[in-house]
Amino acid sequence: MAGPCVFCDIVRAEVPAHVVHQDARVFAFLDHSPLLHGHTLVLLREHVDSLDDLSDEQTATLFAAVRRMSIAVQRGLGAEGSLVVTNTRVSQSVPHVHVHVVPRRKGDGLFSQKMLWRRLAYESDAQAKEIALKIRAAYAAIER
Protein backbone atom coordinates (compact mmCIF):
# COMPACT_ATOMS: atom_id res chain seq x y z
CA MET A 1 0.00 0.00 0.00
CA ALA A 2 1.46 3.37 -1.04
CA GLY A 3 -0.22 5.61 1.54
CA PRO A 4 -2.99 5.83 4.09
CA CYS A 5 -6.15 3.87 3.35
CA VAL A 6 -9.48 5.17 4.64
CA PHE A 7 -10.97 1.66 4.50
CA CYS A 8 -8.14 0.30 6.67
CA ASP A 9 -8.84 3.22 9.04
CA ILE A 10 -12.55 2.25 9.12
CA VAL A 11 -11.67 -1.40 9.81
CA ARG A 12 -9.47 -0.26 12.73
CA ALA A 13 -12.35 1.97 13.99
CA GLU A 14 -10.24 5.09 13.50
CA VAL A 15 -12.88 6.52 11.16
CA PRO A 16 -16.57 6.14 12.03
CA ALA A 17 -18.83 4.01 9.85
CA HIS A 18 -22.18 2.27 10.07
CA VAL A 19 -20.93 -1.29 10.38
CA VAL A 20 -23.20 -3.94 8.93
CA HIS A 21 -20.94 -6.98 9.44
CA GLN A 22 -17.49 -7.82 10.71
CA ASP A 23 -15.65 -11.02 11.39
CA ALA A 24 -12.01 -12.13 11.40
CA ARG A 25 -11.61 -11.76 7.61
CA VAL A 26 -14.43 -9.56 6.26
CA PHE A 27 -15.80 -6.10 7.04
CA ALA A 28 -18.95 -4.44 5.65
CA PHE A 29 -20.41 -1.00 6.19
CA LEU A 30 -22.89 1.41 4.64
CA ASP A 31 -21.52 3.58 1.83
CA HIS A 32 -21.48 7.17 3.15
CA SER A 33 -22.77 8.42 -0.20
CA PRO A 34 -25.13 5.64 -1.31
CA LEU A 35 -26.64 5.06 -4.71
CA LEU A 36 -29.76 3.90 -2.85
CA HIS A 37 -30.31 3.60 0.90
CA GLY A 38 -28.76 0.37 2.13
CA HIS A 39 -25.83 0.52 -0.34
CA THR A 40 -23.21 -1.54 1.48
CA LEU A 41 -19.48 -1.97 0.87
CA VAL A 42 -17.98 -5.40 1.54
CA LEU A 43 -14.20 -5.80 1.84
CA LEU A 44 -11.49 -7.92 3.34
CA ARG A 45 -9.96 -6.60 6.56
CA GLU A 46 -6.58 -7.28 4.99
CA HIS A 47 -5.49 -4.52 2.63
CA VAL A 48 -5.45 -5.62 -1.01
CA ASP A 49 -5.40 -2.90 -3.66
CA SER A 50 -7.72 -4.33 -6.32
CA LEU A 51 -9.69 -7.35 -7.46
CA ASP A 52 -6.80 -8.33 -9.71
CA ASP A 53 -4.51 -8.62 -6.68
CA LEU A 54 -6.66 -11.11 -4.73
CA SER A 55 -5.57 -14.70 -4.27
CA ASP A 56 -8.10 -17.42 -5.09
CA GLU A 57 -8.63 -18.00 -1.36
CA GLN A 58 -9.20 -14.28 -0.71
CA THR A 59 -11.62 -14.14 -3.65
CA ALA A 60 -13.61 -17.07 -2.25
CA THR A 61 -13.75 -15.46 1.21
CA LEU A 62 -14.79 -12.05 -0.12
CA PHE A 63 -17.44 -13.29 -2.53
CA ALA A 64 -18.96 -15.72 -0.02
CA ALA A 65 -19.57 -12.65 2.17
CA VAL A 66 -20.82 -10.62 -0.83
CA ARG A 67 -23.35 -13.35 -1.65
CA ARG A 68 -24.64 -13.33 1.94
CA MET A 69 -24.75 -9.55 1.96
CA SER A 70 -26.79 -9.50 -1.25
CA ILE A 71 -29.34 -11.80 0.37
CA ALA A 72 -29.26 -9.76 3.60
CA VAL A 73 -29.80 -6.44 1.84
CA GLN A 74 -32.78 -7.87 -0.01
CA ARG A 75 -34.34 -9.54 3.03
CA GLY A 76 -33.49 -6.81 5.51
CA LEU A 77 -34.82 -3.98 3.39
CA GLY A 78 -37.57 -5.75 1.46
CA ALA A 79 -35.73 -5.18 -1.82
CA GLU A 80 -36.66 -7.10 -4.97
CA GLY A 81 -33.04 -7.70 -5.92
CA SER A 82 -29.57 -6.25 -5.69
CA LEU A 83 -26.81 -4.79 -7.79
CA VAL A 84 -23.35 -6.21 -7.02
CA VAL A 85 -20.39 -4.42 -8.57
CA THR A 86 -16.71 -3.73 -8.08
CA ASN A 87 -14.34 -1.41 -9.88
CA THR A 88 -10.76 -2.32 -10.68
CA ARG A 89 -8.55 0.79 -10.62
CA VAL A 90 -10.68 2.93 -13.00
CA SER A 91 -13.41 4.57 -10.88
CA GLN A 92 -12.08 2.76 -7.81
CA SER A 93 -12.03 5.77 -5.49
CA VAL A 94 -10.36 3.86 -2.64
CA PRO A 95 -7.53 1.50 -3.58
CA HIS A 96 -8.67 -1.25 -1.20
CA VAL A 97 -10.68 -3.91 -3.01
CA HIS A 98 -14.35 -3.60 -2.13
CA VAL A 99 -17.65 -4.76 -3.55
CA HIS A 100 -20.77 -2.59 -3.69
CA VAL A 101 -24.05 -4.31 -2.78
CA VAL A 102 -26.99 -2.06 -3.63
CA PRO A 103 -30.64 -2.93 -2.93
CA ARG A 104 -32.83 -2.73 -6.04
CA ARG A 105 -36.52 -2.32 -6.69
CA LYS A 106 -38.30 -2.03 -10.02
CA GLY A 107 -38.55 1.63 -10.95
CA ASP A 108 -35.96 2.76 -8.38
CA GLY A 109 -34.40 5.08 -10.96
CA LEU A 110 -30.86 3.90 -10.33
CA PHE A 111 -29.90 3.89 -13.99
CA SER A 112 -30.83 6.43 -16.61
CA GLN A 113 -30.57 5.71 -20.32
CA LYS A 114 -27.01 7.04 -20.10
CA MET A 115 -26.08 4.72 -17.21
CA LEU A 116 -25.52 7.61 -14.80
CA TRP A 117 -25.36 6.82 -11.10
CA ARG A 118 -26.92 9.32 -8.80
CA ARG A 119 -25.84 9.43 -5.18
CA LEU A 120 -28.04 10.05 -2.13
CA ALA A 121 -27.43 11.19 1.40
CA TYR A 122 -28.96 9.61 4.47
CA GLU A 123 -31.50 11.94 6.05
CA SER A 124 -29.85 11.44 9.43
CA ASP A 125 -27.34 9.34 11.29
CA ALA A 126 -30.29 7.61 12.95
CA GLN A 127 -31.68 6.57 9.56
CA ALA A 128 -28.33 5.08 8.57
CA LYS A 129 -28.08 3.24 11.90
CA GLU A 130 -31.58 1.80 11.45
CA ILE A 131 -30.80 0.55 7.94
CA ALA A 132 -27.46 -0.93 9.05
CA LEU A 133 -29.25 -2.73 11.89
CA LYS A 134 -31.82 -4.28 9.54
CA ILE A 135 -29.15 -5.54 7.15
CA ARG A 136 -26.94 -6.75 10.04
CA ALA A 137 -29.81 -8.82 11.46
CA ALA A 138 -30.64 -10.33 8.07
CA TYR A 139 -26.95 -11.09 7.38
CA ALA A 140 -26.59 -12.91 10.70
CA ALA A 141 -29.66 -15.03 9.90
CA ILE A 142 -28.25 -16.35 6.61
CA GLU A 143 -26.52 -19.72 6.73
CA ARG A 144 -23.01 -19.87 5.36
- Bridge partner residues of 139 (DSSP): none
Q: What separation in angstroms does the CA of 93 have from each of 6, 78, 86, 87, 90?
A: 10, 29, 11, 9, 8
- Determine whether 47 is an active site residue: no
Query: In sequence order, what are the residues at sequence separation of 6 or more whose Cβ sits closer than 8 angstroms to the Cβ of residue 129?
Result: 18
3-state DSSP call for residue 136? helix
Dmax over CA atoms of the chain, in Å, equals 41
Q: What is the arrangement of strands in the sheet containing 98-104, beginning at the earlier edge strand?
A: 19-22, 26-30, 40-44, 98-104, 81-85
Choosing from 37, 96, 98, 100, the catalytic residue is 98
**Phi and psi (nearest 5°) for 10?**
-65, -45
Which positions are catalytic? Answer: 98
